[in-house]
Structure 1
């Protein structure tokens, strides 16, 4: 969504809106409209800068991207600790 590059759904994060806050749908089964994002901080930054979340999720008003950023950061820490 942010970088607009295609990718398989298994490699992407599904993001949904819960009370004006973006949440990663880990099980990919939460109700509502979802948006797909590469698990890359650069892709999140592009999506935020372009205001792509509001359009993709059809949500008016500001959305808090902090939970997505925290999820990406924890994923990166997990990969760095494993390697």
Structure 2
């Protein structure tokens, strides 16, 4: 391998299945909102329960949805709507582009 191993704990993205340092991935968990389960991003990485890890890229979320990877990784037998997670990742990407001074947001 030509690439150096990431420092610290390594996790696998449920979308692209690439391995990366935990610090570069987002943790997604299931919480109960108004009696129904919802997917949310665990920014502090401290919410209880199983977590699924995904890169902060819309492409990875879309791949995870197509492969039904969130349900498998979280061991959820009910249908989960990843729309909120996708929306949060789009917002994070836009904010990151604004913070870095990039022009022309493509989403």
TM-score by length of 2: 0.74
Structure 1: stretches of 5+ with no match in the other structure? none
Q: Secondary structure at the match of 1:7?
A: strand
- RMSD over aligned Cα atoms: 0.8
Equivalent residues, number: 83
More strand, by proportion: 2
Runs of 4+ residues deviating >6 angstroms: none
Question: Secondary structure at the residue paired with 1:22?
Answer: strand
Q: Name the structure 2 match of 1:36.
A: 53
Paired residue for 2:92, among 66, 75, 80? Answer: 75
Which one of 3, 6, 9 corresponds to residue 22 of structure 2? 9
Identify which of 51, 66, 76 aligns with 2:83: 66
**Highest RCO, 1 vs 2 (Cα 8 Å, sep ≥ 6):** 1
Greater helix content:
1
Select the structure of larger CA radius of gyration. Answer: 2
